[in-house]
Amino acid sequence: MKKIVIALGLAIAVALPALAQAREVTFTTELLNYGGDGAYLALYLTDAAGNYQGTLWIAGKKSKYYKHLSGWARGSRLNPAEYDGLTGASITSGRTLKITLNLDDALIDSGHEVRVDTAVEDMRDNRADVAVPLTSDGAGKPVTGRGYVASFRYDF
């Protein structure tokens, strides 16, 4: 399954330089065959201190379940302005979510981290199933999640 979103400026309330350069970044999240219902995922950014900076994408349409994406929910305060226009269908077992965004170059190699929280109905919730620094060196290198994520990577 492929979702493409072009978010000029990323609209995540991060103070960015006025003449910043953007870079196309593709985030690929492959789920394990966990044998349950569709998974809800929150892809979001944190700063070097681990503080929430903004939402990249939410997989799962029913906002009543967003509270189970605990790291993201705490940071975003479940404010609809944080995810309006950045949502899609939940992802089922063994499937792949692919999202392409334009991110400001200032976010790369600056201490920011990409996190993925996951939750599945009647199964365990995983805060920071994936947590990886957003660096040039890390691009294209898959990492394994701690819960439902079999593989996560980002590419420039």
Per-residue pLDDT of the chain (156 residues; tens, 9 = 90+): 443 333 333 443 344 444 569 999 999 999 999 999 999 999 999 999 999 999 999 999 999 999 999 999 999 999 999 999 999 999 999 999 999 999 999 999 999 999 999 999 999 999 999 999 999 999 999 999 999 999 999 999
> Rounded to whole angstroms, how far apart are CA atoms 75 and 70?
8
- Check residue 13 and give its pLDDT: 34
| pTM (two decimals) | 0.87
Which residues in 45-69 are b (16+ Cβ under 10 Å) and which e? bbeeeeebbbbbbbbbeeeeebebb
CB 52 within 8 A of CB 82: no
Domain boundaries, the chain: 40-155
- Check residue 96 and give its pLDDT: 98
> Rounded to whole angstroms, how far apart are CA atoms 84 and 134?
23
- Check residue 8 and give its pLDDT: 30
- Check residue 117 and give its pLDDT: 98
- Check residue 151 and give its pLDDT: 98
- Check residue 40 and give its pLDDT: 98
Closest by CA to 70, choosing from 120, 127, 129, is: 127
